[in-house]
Amino acid sequence: MAERQSHALFEPITVDGAERRTIDLRRLKGKDLRDIDKFEGGNADKTLFIIQRLSGWPPEAVEELDAADIEACGKIIEGFTKRKPSIVR
């Protein structure tokens, strides 16, 4: 399994003076799952929190992401938690 997964942004943004056209998300760890549960806020706040955490981007940059990019990142993160079917021989 890949350690990180990239998403080509539908709407590029500027982060620290540099244009970003992709966002890289690392795989979830147990501590991330624990911290999501402890995080106070609604689902949108939790989604932005975990995108920020997994990308390493500052919160201000994540808040500038287009809604379609946030949804795509959410699907990537969701995919990190799904198990791949094993092949029985």
Q: What is the pLDDT of residues 35-59, one digit of tens each?
A: 988 878 788 899 999 999 999 999 9
Q: What is the pLDDT of residue 87?
A: 57
Which helix (DSSP H) or strand (DSSP E) does residue 25 occupy? Answer: strand 18-26
Q: Could you tell me if 28 and 77 are in contact, meaning their C-beta atoms sit under 8 angstroms apart?
A: yes
DSSP code, position 16: T
Domain coordinates in residue numbering, the chain: 4-80
| Distance (Å, whole) CA 16 – CA 52 | 15
Classified as helix, coil or strand, 38 is helix
Residue with tokens 């624990």: 34
| Distance (Å, whole) CA 20 – CA 41 | 27
Q: What percent of the chain has pLDDT over 70?
A: 90
